[in-house]
Amino acid sequence: MKTTFKQSLAAGVIASALAAAVATPASAQENWDSVVAAAKKEGSIVVYHAQLGAAHWKDVVRAFESKYGIKVQEYDARASELTERIRVEQTSKRYVADVEFHGKASIAQQHIESDFIAELGTIPNAKNLRDDFPADKYSIPAWTQVVCMLSNTNLVKPEDEPKNWTDLLDPKWKGKLLSDDMRAVGSGQTMFGVTYAKYGADFHKKLAAQDIVFNRDLQVNSRRVARGENPIFIQQIIAFASELKGLPVKVLLPSDGCPFTAIRGAVLRGAPHPNAARVFINHFLEMDSQVRYANAWMGTVVKGVSEKLTDPDAKRYAAVKLMGEIEYADRNRFLALAKEMYK
């Protein structure tokens, strides 16, 4: 967390309790200009997300601040840490966060089980969403994190590259595979759940026997492959590989598809700056924001992005085959299965 945010946190907890009593989102019937005016009057916003310092996130935030004059304060952490912080704030009614960007299953859980999510209201740019990424009453897609593989090109010859997920079971990879933790919410769990749904328990029993090395720091994992410490990282978020250009690595796109997580924006109940929260979410669906994300190899959710891209890699990743994502109803079951299978 940034120092400025730490310094303001204590004051924010007190102020937010007062603000929550009087602040409510602008109604769907209001003119959007009035929502923007109210957001500018609020003057700031606290955003919780798990972009882990990604440059494309920072670019979109800077563009928002420049356009609206609204200061963005952030808590940037792992998905599991976001979930716990939101739980503590909401149950104690010490509201700090205005908006979160979180996986679809996590937001569904917070809404259905805990009532932590406020109704979103009208978001003008929702009209631009692709048909396969619809909004709902409580959240809206903002981007997707696509999970594939990363190989070290000095250690893995083209003919030896895994062409699909089941190729990871080849005995030659025993003790050589690096993985995010599949037993916790995040990209490791996404890959586990989606491949379990497609290939069943037998696939993961055999994969567990490959003596996988686990590490939860995704960017460190990518660097370890680049340095040649491990030949393959099996849950590479494509966007994070954009920072590895020039290094001996290659993004591998399995022919059977890539698991993904649709990251959705939601306004937290009791948000001190509810109008700024809606304007910030709407900003992520601007074409400029989506093109920034696509050029950073992140999955996008609005129509017409591919036509705006000129970078060959960006175009390739924009067209990646998607295998599926974890649904809310299945997440706890998959977490329990992963804990049982990977000990």
Tokens 């993985």: give the residue. Answer: 179
Q: Are residues 37 and 127 in the same domain?
A: yes
Indicate if 217 and 330 belong to the same structural domain: yes
Same domain assignment for residues 294 and 149:
no
Same domain assignment for residues 131 and 265 = yes
Which residue range is the domain that position 83 belongs to?
Answer: 3-144+261-318
Burial environment of residue 150 by CB neighbours within 10 A (0 to 12, 13 to 18, 19 or more): buried
In whole angstroms, what is the distance from residue 94 CA to residue 23 CA?
A: 14
Tell me 262's DSSP state.
E
| Counted domains in the chain | 2
Residues 337, 274, single domain; the answer is no
**Are 330 and 204 contained in the same domain?**
yes
Task: Indicate if 134 and 270 belong to the same structural domain.
Answer: yes
Tens-digit pLDDT string for the chain (343 aa): 444 444 444 444 334 433 333 344 444 456 999 999 999 999 999 999 988 888 899 999 999 999 999 999 999 998 889 999 999 999 999 999 999 999 888 898 888 889 999 999 999 999 999 999 999 999 999 999 899 999 999 999 999 999 999 999 999 999 999 999 999 888 899 999 999 999 999 999 999 999 999 998 888 999 999 999 999 999 999 988 888 989 999 999 999 999 999 999 999 999 999 999 999 999 999 999 999 999 999 999 999 999 999 999 999 999 899 999 998 889 899 999 999 999 8
Helix boundaries (H) for the chain: 3-22, 32-42, 55-68, 79-92, 104-109, 187-208, 218-227, 274-284, 287-295, 312-318, 328-341
What CATH number did the domain enclosing 204 receive? Answer: 3.40.190.10
Same domain assignment for residues 134 and 202:
no
For residue 337, CA distances in Å to 89, 113, 285, 334, 342 come to 29, 21, 36, 5, 8
Is there a single domain that holds both residue 251 and residue 108?
Answer: no
Q: How far apart are CA 99 and CA 312, in angstroms?
A: 33
168 shares its domain with 215: yes
Would the pTM count as exceeding 0.75?
A: yes
Plot region of 324 (φ>0 → left; ψ -120 to 50 → alpha; else → beta)? left
